[in-house]
Chain A
């Protein structure tokens, strides 16, 4: 599953940040997943748990889904990811590559394909909580 590849990138990045910031014990890792990427929540969580290295043994993963928002660059309209209006094939394509939304979605007001994904695109690390080495 491609959720595993994304989980692997999260773990690797957390380890890098923990090392850079000198965090001794990580207690919580807050991760946001954009609605439009439609990751399978349980698969993603399971991948994180299975990939969790000993350095992060005390860490709890908090995973939250973030609403996807678009903004038209032509007329300025803001709108949300129209999941229910899209077919399975289109949803699957956007799951793999959110940018192909520019192939399938248009501004609901002016029809422009020139829009920004202003929120809830992919996966990101919101915060890492823990105890610093000298703490």
Chain B
């Protein structure tokens, strides 16, 4: 009994320049917001960009993008719809927003299925919005995708540092490239930056806590005018360089 799907995954992303996994050890640090915002900014600058929401059990990028009723097209595979200039894939197309509890094997099967049938075409960037932690999604991205690079999101909280440290440790051990760490939701003073420098990880910058983001979820034009988005734009040099 042989599962044929894995053999075509490489073909489906063959024309993708860079795969960036926006990741964190911790939930609630702004991964989905940063992944969506970076993808939108890249597309706005003329880079052909895809966004793939891999948080299958708790997807949220569709809310950030204000997704309207749409489904992928079928043409010898699945063609992701273009949403605000992004080729966008989410489980929401199929789960319809219902609770979809998945154990590890189900996550892997869903991920392999979508990877093996989705035709991303030519892309400069494929941004992956990762679920938190070093569980199924992180392990499967490392196992199945060609040369992913990890952009790590944290907050000033020592709790975030504690979990992100483990993610960094695992990526190092497996020799997976790390773009660097972004400190999100910055308020007041924190010396977390030094802690990351001690780990010898590139510190890419800090993004202040911006309440305007919550008010503009679903409105991409206004989201891109927030301080959050302006600060996120400064990260681009680390992705494109």
A interface residues (Cβ-Cβ under 8 A, vs B): 1-2, 4-6, 8-10, 12-14, 16-17, 89, 93-94, 96-100, 102-104, 113-114, 116-117, 121-126
- In the assembly, what is the distance between CA of A95 and CA of B114, in Å? 12
Known: A9-B5, A14-B4, A117-B106. 9 other contacts (CB 8 A): A1-B76, A9-B4, A17-B2, A96-B93, A99-B113, A100-B91, A100-B95, A114-B101, A123-B4
Q: Which residues of B contact A100 (CB under 8 A)?
A: 91, 94-95, 100, 110
Are the C-beta atoms of B98 and A104 separated by less than 8 Å?
Answer: yes
Contact B2–A13 (Cβ < 8 Å):
yes
Contact bitstring B59-70, A, C-beta under 8 A = 1, else 0: 000000000000
B77 sits at the interface (CB 8 A): yes
Known: A5-B116, A97-B113, A122-B113. A102 touches B100 (CB 8 A): yes
> Complex Cα distance A98/B116, Å?
14
Binding site for A on B (CB under 8 A): 1-8, 11, 56, 72, 74-78, 91, 93-96, 98-103, 105-107, 109-110, 113-114, 116-117, 119
Cβ-closest chain B residue relative to A127: B1
Point out the residues of chain A lying under 8 angstroms from B4, CB to CB. Answer: 6, 9-10, 12-14, 123-125
- A99 close to B78 (CB less than 8 A): no
Q: How far is the CB of B60 from chain A (nearest CB, A)?
A: 16
The answer to whether B116 touches A97 (Cβ under 8 A) is no
A93 touching B95 by the CB < 8 A rule? yes
- A2/B102 contact (C-beta < 8 A), A13-B4, A96-B78, A123-B4 known: no
CA distance A94 to B113 in the complex (A): 12
Cβ–Cβ < 8 Å partners of B99 in chain A: 103, 113
- Is there contact, CB below 8 Å, between A98 and B113? yes
A117 vs chain B, min Cβ distance (A): 8
- Quick check: A97 and B5 within 8 Å, CB to CB? no
B7 near A6: Cβ-Cβ < 8 Å: no
Query: 18 A-B residue contacts at CB 8 Å?
Result: A5-B117, A6-B116, A9-B6, A10-B4, A13-B2, A14-B4, A16-B7, A96-B78, A98-B109, A100-B94, A102-B102, A103-B98, A103-B100, A113-B101, A114-B103, A121-B109, A122-B109, A126-B1
User: Would A97 and B94 count as touching, CB distance under 8 A?
Assistant: yes
| CB-defined contacts of B117 to chain A, threshold 8 Å | 2, 5-6, 96
Are A8 and B8 within 8 A (Cβ)?
yes
> How far apart are the CA atoms of A10 and B1 in the complex, in Å?
12
B105 surroundings in chain A (CB, below 8 A): 116
Q: A96 contacts which chain B residues (CB < 8 A)?
A: 72, 78, 93-94, 117
List the A side residues contacting B95 at CB < 8 Å: 93, 100, 103
Distance A103 CA – B198 CA, assembled complex (angstroms): 44
**Minimum distance in angstroms from B53 CB to a CB of chain A:** 13
Q: Are A102 and B106 in contact (CB under 8 A)?
A: yes
Report the bound CA distance from A22 to B117 in whole Å: 28
A76 to B105, CA, bound (A): 18
Roughly how many angstroms separate A87 CA and B192 CA in the complex, as a whole number? 52
Instruction: Give every chain A residue within 8 A of B1 (Cβ-Cβ).
Output: 124-126
- Residues of B contacting A13 with CB < 8 Å? 2, 4, 6-7
Residues of B contacting A14 in the complex (Cβ-Cβ under 8 angstroms): 4
